[in-house]
């Protein structure tokens, strides 16, 4: 049964990849203004392309640094190598699962194999989640203030998606703050919503409602532990949030480096970065791995004016750096961790023999 489910999951992911490729091919065939890709690539500045790659690497490094600091303060210090492996495993499974939902569960499993209990690992990841959420909310707010009119003029659909996505982010941020000062209120509110669902939509499936209630109570408990960490290590928490701001800025600025690499310079880095923040928030809740298709379409809708006839090449390079490179490096991390895990188990097997 589990094998069949895994096969179905794999087939779905392959289908999403094929659909994404089909969309990219559609862009190339239906867009009469797209230049010859070979000519565009030959004219691209290698220096700016290296800058784009460096921005992505800073993104990976920032997440690793947050992980290492949180682990150290939780009493489970990790080496830089272990930090990189855990970080890339999280990125890998986040990229392959809808709504990036698979990253943290697989990280918890990987951390548990190294002797870190579930409660501690969950708290570490919750601290990172809080910091990332704060950083993206800050950039989203700046994007709304400085670029909302520009975004609306480019694409009404993306603008509406951005408003919806940002409201969800703001709601999560407000809930997180309320959890810090009035956790009982939030817990009762969540249980009330689950109770309502249990009496209506899940009336015939009470076990599902109970699972949701248990998951909610566990989330609140883990969040409380993360908040306790933040209050006990204020200086480190401030540094983690600062690192998250740098990490998010690096990720969002990749578009600008690609833009400059293709020979454009009319738009400054701030506007390009904030417009990318709007795109990232707009597609964050698309229930497809990597928000595929919506991300590519959103890039076309927002940045076509700036990239001109090079928009297809710009989108391909940007997506390759921010998504497919993550999958490739994450796959290496998964393989390395699997190899190390098999080596750890060999002594136990020999002893039992």
**Residue located via tokens 């039992």:** 352
Report the pLDDT value the prediction gives residue 291, as an integer from 0 to 100.
73
H or E stretch at 1: none
Q: Which tokens sit at 306?
A: 């700036």
Beta-bridge partners for 98: 289
H or E stretch at 267: none
Report the pLDDT value the prediction gives residue 18, as an integer from 0 to 100.
64
Contact 130, 138 (CB under 8 A): no
Report the alpha-carbon distance of residue 5 to residue 47 in Å, rounded.
Answer: 45
Report the pLDDT value the prediction gives residue 269, as an integer from 0 to 100.
92
Per-residue pLDDT of the chain (353 residues; tens, 9 = 90+): 444 555 555 566 656 656 666 666 665 555 555 555 666 667 788 899 999 999 999 999 999 999 999 999 888 999 999 999 999 999 998 888 877 777 888 999 999 988 888 878 888 888 898 888 889 889 989 988 888 888 888 888 888 989 988 888 878 777 777 777 787 888 888 889 888 888 888 877 888 888 888 888 887 877 777 777 777 888 998 999 999 999 999 999 999 999 999 999 999 999 899 999 999 998 888 877 777 777 888 898 899 889 887 888 888 899 889 998 998 999 899 999 988 888 776 655 555 54
Beta-bridge partners for 350: none
Q: What angle do CA 331, 335, 341 make, to 5 degrees?
A: 140
Q: Residue 99: helix, strand or coil by DSSP?
A: coil
Structure letter (DSSP) for residue 114: T
Residues 6+ apart with CB under 8 A from 318: 52, 254, 255, 258, 299
Q: Name the residue ranges covered by the structural domains of the chain.
A: 44-338
φ, ψ for residue 263, nearest 5 deg: 95, 10
Residues 6+ apart with CB under 8 A from 232: 73
Residues 6+ apart with CB under 8 A from 37: 312, 313
Report the pLDDT value the prediction gives residue 223, as an integer from 0 to 100.
74
Q: Residue 187: helix, strand or coil by DSSP?
A: helix
Q: If we measure between CA atoms, which residue out of 65, 97, 48, 69 comes closest to residue 247?
A: 65
Report the alpha-carbon distance of residue 129 to residue 125 in Å, rounded.
Answer: 6
Report the pLDDT value the prediction gives residue 1, as an integer from 0 to 100.
47
Q: Residue 352: helix, strand or coil by DSSP?
A: helix
């Amino acid at each position: 049964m589990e094998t069949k489910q895994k096969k179905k999951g794999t087939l779905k992911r392959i289908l999403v990849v094929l659909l994404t490729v089909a969309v990219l091919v559609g862009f190339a065939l239906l867009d009469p203004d797209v230049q010859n890709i070979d000519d565009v690539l030959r004219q691209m500045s290698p220096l700016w392309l290296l800058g784009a790659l460096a921005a992505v690497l800073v993104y990976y490094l920032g997440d690793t640094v947050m992980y290492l600091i949180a682990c150290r303060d939780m009493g489970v210090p990790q080496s830089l190598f272990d930090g990189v492996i855990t970080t890339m495993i999280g990125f890998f499974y986040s990229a392959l699962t809808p709504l990036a939902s698979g990253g943290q569960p697989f990280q918890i499993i990987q951390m548990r194999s190294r002797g870190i209990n579930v409660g501690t690992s969950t708290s570490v990841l919750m601290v990172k989640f809080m910091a990332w959420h704060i950083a993206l909310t800050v950039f989203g707010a700046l994007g709304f203030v400085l670029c909302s009119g520009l975004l609306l003029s480019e694409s009404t659909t993306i603008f509406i998606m951005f408003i919806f996505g940002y409201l969800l982010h703001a709601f999560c941020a407000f809930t997180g703050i309320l959890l810090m000062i009035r956790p009982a209120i939030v817990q009762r509110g969540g249980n009330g919503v689950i109770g309502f669902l249990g009496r209506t939509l899940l009336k015939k499936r009470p076990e599902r409602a109970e699972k949701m209630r248990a998951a909610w109570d566990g989330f609140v408990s883990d969040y409380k532990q993360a908040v306790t960490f933040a209050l006990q290590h204020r200086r480190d928490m401030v540094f983690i949030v600062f690192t998250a701001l740098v990490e998010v800025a690096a990720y969002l600025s990749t578009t600008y480096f690609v833009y400059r690499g293709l020979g454009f310079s009319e738009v400054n880095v701030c506007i390009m970065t904030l417009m990318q923040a709007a795109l990232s928030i707009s597609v964050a809740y698309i229930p497809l791995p990597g928000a595929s298709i919506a991300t590519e379409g959103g890039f076309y809708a927002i940045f076509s004016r700036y990239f001109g006839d090079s928009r297809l090449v710009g989108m391909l390079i940007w997506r390759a750096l921010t998504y497919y490179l993550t999958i490739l490096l994450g796959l290496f991390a998964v393989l390395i961790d699997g190899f190390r895990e098999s080596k750890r188990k060999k002594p136990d097997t020999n002893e039992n023999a």
